[in-house]
Copies of this chain bind each other. A is one copy, B any other.
Amino acid sequence: MSGEDNLLRLVEAEEGEENDYHLQDQVGFILRKAHQRHVAIFAAHIADLTPPQFAALAKLYDIGETSQNQLGTLIAMDAATVKGVIDRLKARGLVELSKHEIDKRRLLVNLTPEGREAIERLIPLARTITEETLAPLTAKEAATFLRLLAKLA
């Protein structure tokens, strides 16, 4: 810390300016930490699947067969990311791929019976994960938080 910095602080204190920047108060930093905590809770309950992999299976279970690109849109992943996720699910036999009959650009993705079994088994655990993630909040706070978070996302 140089003498100039100390002088600057004095001057700004006199002017009543807030010069401090506290990383730990910034929404981006706290958002990153909250996300990290959620991922850790997820991993503690569902060890053999990542949140993005689970999201892909859950969405396919919800809407049925769709193109890789469309699936990516629905679960908020760009094309490069969704490809990797689907590749790994395919390698594990949880999804299967086929070509779109009419539009030859599209790659259709669907659950295999094993994938359907897996997601049906995991959804109850996912509800627990959501509960545990929100556990520091009261029910009312959790509702408020989800409403505001959705406005941000």
Contact = CB atoms under 8 A, between A and B. Distances in A.
A16 to B, nearest CB: 17
Interface residues of A, number: 48
A133 interface: yes
A62 B152 contact: no
Please tell me how many copies of the chain the complex holds.
2
Contacts of A55: 23, 29
Nearest to A133: B27
Contacts of A99: none
Contacts of A137: 148, 151-152
A123 B153 contact: no
A152 B21 contact: no
Interface in A19-43: 21-23, 25-39, 42
Interface stretch (A86-94, A101-109, A139-147): A139-147
Given A21-B58, A51-B28, A129-B28, A33 B76 contact: yes
Summarize A's interface: helix, strand, loop or mixed.
Answer: helix
A9 interface: no
A126 interface: yes
B145 A148 contact: yes
A80 interface: no
8 cross-chain pairs, A with B, having the tightest CB-CB distances, nearest first? A33-B153, A34-B153, A145-B148, A136-B151, A28-B38, A34-B152, A21-B123, A23-B58
29 contacts: A21-B61, A21-B62, A23-B59, A23-B62, A23-B75, A25-B146, A27-B130, A27-B145, A27-B146, A28-B38, A28-B39, A28-B129, A29-B51, A30-B146, A31-B31, A31-B35, A31-B149, A32-B76, A33-B76, A33-B153, A34-B149, A34-B152, A36-B76, A133-B152, A136-B151, A141-B151, A144-B148, A145-B145, A145-B152
